[in-house]
Structure 1
Amino acid sequence: MPRLTASLRTQLVVGLAVGSLVWTAGTAYADKPVGGEAKPPPQGGSDGKGGLSASVSNIQVTYPSGGGGGDDKGGNLGTVDPDWKPPACWYEPAFTPEQLKKFVDTDSGGDVGIHESWWGKGLWTDHYRDGKPAENFDLQAARNSSAEGYKDYNLGKDGYFWRGVAPDPNASDSWDCGRIMFWVDAGQIPDDPNAPTPKTLAEYAYDKVKVPDTKVELKPEAKSTVNLPTWVWLDKGTFKDVKVRAELPNTGLWAETTAKPVALHLEPGTEDAEVFPASGDCEINDDGSIGTPYTKGSADKTPPCGIRYLRATDGTPYQLSASVTWQVSWEGSDGSGGDLPDGTFETTQDMNVQEIQSINR
């Protein structure tokens, strides 16, 4: 059975600095192309092509409120904290003993760890059926520990074989989850720093939050006038809390991540403009609305949320940018919870501005 030698491990560690590597000794591979997001399979993290993929998670995502992401007039949040990242890797259940035996007997092609793949019997039968030890593949932490083998896939035992998952296997932190697939008794969570927690699921769900488009109401609607204010507002109910629930099957772990709209920020698209308030931040009112709708006779008044353009457009409209800040919090299955970094979502819309020499009222 082809395995990694110490010298080859050293070469791979050096190679990490220059990109993704593929080891093709026999039928074992030390890395693979990055896989994309996919719908969770019923078992085993299948890539949909008959293989076991470490870039596909079994985490199940639902949307208790705020929509399920099917509306194309919106998008995912961008975090305001440039240093925040969702989890790079974690471990999760992949197979029962019966499922693993069936997989090896009928397929046995795929990832036994995030950075170790095996096609053919080899490792699957030697380690998981015949009890032979195997090396873990943890170059980042340099543990290079040995994993004890299993007899006949642990048939008759109650539990799951767990395996590392990384949405981006090329991320440097994904090497922290370097153990090859290992056994955990039913109802247990592995004693490992990269075992999943409710917070792991909450951070995973953060990337799944989809918020609505932020096209704002304007008055005047079609064309603004130089030196006269343009009122900006959003009616109550336009923006509601978005809640995303992430559950990891066969663990009892879940978390709900909630995004709550808290402010609208305006950028007029030109330096020849004034915004109201001066910060450009229009807070959300108690009833969920933003700003105040324009009423007849308010043309000369200063809006609580709006823009005054000082120069007309010259055939090319200004790009008015409206971004909503969303406050993000979470709660988990063990009673834990807290805050995650605020998120933003921005859209732009055309603003044509005319110049009128005299206005009669």
Structure 2
Amino acid sequence: MWLPSGPAAPEPVDPEALARQVLSGMNLEPVDIGMAPTPIEQDPDSMGLVGAPNWMWVRDPGPTTWGPLTDTGSEGAVTVTVAAQVDEAVWDMGDGSSVTCTSPGDPYDTAYGVRESPSCGHRYERTSRGQPDQAYAVSATTQWSVEWEASTGATGTLEVDPLTSTVHVRIGERQVIEQ
């Protein structure tokens, strides 16, 4: 049997599209927020104080929540390696201010007493009395950077939608009366 043309050539592989497929399988997740004072979701009776240092940290800084995470995918003769990691976490403190932290932070221990966080902290200047449930909604949004490299020599970066977690903290005030 004679055919007017040879077999169809395979479609070329788009390395960036392959990198997007690999990224979608990496299952990046929002962080689990750690705070002192303890969020009311973990302890409904917890309350921090105006002017006292608050600590914020990532309770689960693993590959899918903070990175680094690397994965590889292949299609035809093309192999793509994708590397992802968090550049920063932006904490919306619920009082109109935000804090940007470039590390997962340091967990608080009661043995530390009343002191500033060495890596990621905040001080509230007013109570949360006027907020819903009398608590500030605190969110941590991670900003990821993702780079890819293909066996063809092509490279690039991919955008990742920010991932956000939210908890609530109550902030009160202590008044001292002298006699």
Structure 2 residue 62 is the aligned partner of structure 1 residue 245: no
Superposed counterparts of 1:2-151, under 5 Å: none
Q: Is 1:223 aligned to residue 47 of structure 2?
A: yes
CA contact 2:55–2:108 (8 Å) conserved in 1: yes
Q: Contact 1:215 / 1:349 at 8 angstroms: preserved in 2?
A: no
In 1, Cα distance between the equivalents of 2:112 and 2:59? 20
TM-score scaled by length of structure 2 = 0.71
Matched, 1:339 2:157: yes
Cα shift readout 1:8-40 (whole Å, capped 9, x = no counterpart):
xxxxxxxxxxxxxxxxxxxxxxxxxxxxxxxxx
**Deviation of 1:236 (Å):** 7.9
Matched, 1:233 2:57: yes
Alpha-carbon distance between aligned partners in 2 of 1:342 and 1:214, rounded to the nearest angstrom? 15
5+ residue gaps, structure 1, are 1-149, 160-182, 285-289
Structure whose residues are more often strand by fraction? 2
Secondary structure of the residue aligned to 2:106 is coil
Match of residue 167 from structure 2: 349
Pair 266,204 (structure 1): closer, same or farther in 2 beyond 3 Å: same
Distance in 1 between the 2:81 and 2:117 partners?
A: 41
Separation in 2, partners of 1:283, 1:224: 24
How much does 1:205 deviate?
A: 3.3
1: distance between equivalents of 2:22 and 2:117?
41
- Residue in 2 that maps onto 1:197: 14
Q: Give the Å deviation of 1:282.
A: 0.8
1:291 to 105, 108, 123: 105
Question: Which secondary structure does the structure 2 equivalent of 1:325 belong to?
Answer: strand
Shift of 1:260: 1.2
Distance in 2 between the 1:326 and 1:205 partners?
Answer: 15
Q: 1:306 aligns with which of 121, 141, 149?
A: 121
> In 2, Cα distance between the equivalents of 1:224 and 1:257?
41
How far does the alpha carbon of each residue in 1:237-274 deviate from its partner, in whole angstroms, 9 at most, with x for none? Answer: 533323343433xx222322221122221111122xx5
Q: Is the 8 A contact 2:84 2:144 kept in 1?
A: yes
Which letter maps to 1:283? T
In terms of Rg, which structure is larger?
Answer: 1
Residue identity over aligned pairs, in percent, reads 22
**Secondary structure in 1 matching 2:17:** helix
C-alpha change, 1:201 and 1:312, in structure 2 (3 Å) is same
Bigger share in helix: 1
Deviations 1:44-89 (A, max 9, x none): xxxxxxxxxxxxxxxxxxxxxxxxxxxxxxxxxxxxxxxxxxxxxx
Measured after TM superposition, the shift of residue 322 of structure 1 is: 0.2
Distance 2:61 2:105 in 1: 13
